[in-house]
A and B are shown apart, each in its own frame.
Chain A
Amino acid sequence: NAGVTQTPKFRVLKTGQSMTLLCAQDMNHEYMYWYRQDPGMGLRLIHYSVGEGTTAKGEVPDGYNVSRLKKQNFLLGLESAAPSQTSVYFCASRSVWNSPLHFGNGTRLTVT
């Protein structure tokens, strides 16, 4: 009963390095989301997808790119990491536009 799986769980990057965070869901959900969580800021939407092959910008998209080549996977890329991207990143999915979100356990990223 995996649900939403995020890899890796932890990562430390140096400024300027790149990386990709992977999100996989096994619930056949159409909608997938990437959020970042920062102290005192709650959760802020980075990018989202309403189906395979689609992506859209959220509230804080700058410095990130995403891809949804397969329905079950949603990748978040950082091309040139900055200390301001130090955060906990959460992936979420849902079946229809107004249903609850199912979250992964997060990726804690530190950029030095």
Chain B
Amino acid sequence: GNSVTQMEGPVTLSEEAFLTINCTYTATGYPSLFWYVQYPGEGLQLLLKATKADDKGSNKGFEATYRKETTSFHLEKGSVQVSDSAVYFCALSSGPGGGADGLTFGKGTHLIIQP
């Protein structure tokens, strides 16, 4: 079956540091890949996505590249801010039902940015 593995953290960084959150996946076919962000007390929000190999998704300074050869979709940001503190989820869409059965999520990475 499909699965997503990501570092769980917490990951603690200083403001303006470089961020990498690793995500690797196992899936059949050609999944679409997503990063979601969850702020305290809120639901998940789409951060970025990529739908085919070598695509780069980007939003709010975050980037991730769909690497089929390494089955990875690592999240990066060049200079993090305190406001980036949140839980980040990597996810894929390609279930047995052709993706109709939602997304498969990683367990989430708690990111803490210190001033």
Contact = CB atoms under 8 A, between A and B. Distances in A.
Interface residues of B, number: 25
B107 A40 contact: yes
Interface string B33-44: 010100001111
A98 B93 contact: yes
B42 A56 contact: no
Contacts of A43: 44, 89, 105
Nearest to B4: A42
A48 B102 CA distance: 8
* Chain B interface, DSSP helix/strand/loop, else mixed: loop
Interface residues of A, number: 24
A103 B49 contact: no
Contacts of A31: 100, 102
Given A43-B89, A43-B105, A97 B100 contact: yes
B40 to A, nearest CB: 11
Interface of B: 8, 32, 34, 36, 41-46, 49, 51, 89, 93, 97-103, 105-108
24 contacts: A31-B102, A33-B102, A40-B8, A45-B101, A45-B102, A48-B102, A50-B100, A56-B101, A90-B43, A97-B93, A97-B97, A98-B32, A98-B51, A98-B99, A100-B34, A101-B44, A101-B46, A101-B103, A102-B46, A103-B36, A103-B43, A103-B45, A105-B41, A106-B43
